[in-house]
Amino acid sequence: MSNHRRPAPHLTSSKDWLSAGHAARKRRARAKVPVPAGSITQAPELPLADAIARLEAPPVYSVQLPWPPTLNHNTLPNGRGGRILTAEHKTFRREVWYACNQARVPAFGNARLMVQILAFPPDRRARDLDNLVKPVLDALQKAGVYVNDAQVDEISISRRERREQACVIVGVSSLEAAA
């Protein structure tokens, strides 16, 4: 008995059925995520100096980012055994790039890094803080802050009070400069 689903009635041969599914998957993978003008917004200003002062060691550079999308649904199957990012994650990465450029966060190159994250969640739901780390680190890498997130040797994350406009404040500093 085969594990394959039966083709739709309007597709007579299995070749038609496979090519129709493949075409639909290709269209979804190629779909660009439109970003209308003004849709990338910064989170409302928090007392950034107060939040940074709460970090263990003040970072060299800090930036306020929007609340990251959940890690549990960040990719979709592409039909060839691989995965593609969802539109929500692509938009988040674009917003991180924009925020890093506005805050003039430099590229750290191949330096060993310490990243500190303050999470201001949108509601009181129970959340795993470890699910915030991966999307933030990947987005900072795509924004050009560092070459590879394997450079991060120290990570600190803490949950703060709930905010209407949820955000994360990320501090990045070089461990080589501190040594």
Closest CA to 24 of 65, 66, 77: 77
Digit-coded pLDDT (tens) for 30-52? 554 454 444 444 444 555 556 65
pLDDT, one tens digit per residue, over 1-37 is 545 554 445 545 545 544 555 555 555 555 544 544 4
pLDDT at 41: 47
Residue 82 contacts by C-beta under 8 Å, 6 or more apart in sequence?
none
Q: Could you report the per-residue pLDDT of 134-173, keeping only the tens digit for each?
A: 999 999 999 999 999 999 999 999 999 998 889 999 999 9
Q: What is the pTM of this model?
A: 0.67
For 98-109, what is each residue's pLDDT tens digit?
999 999 999 999
CA atoms within 13 A on the CB side of 57: 12
Strands (E), the chain: 61-66, 75-77, 83-85, 113-120, 152-159, 167-174
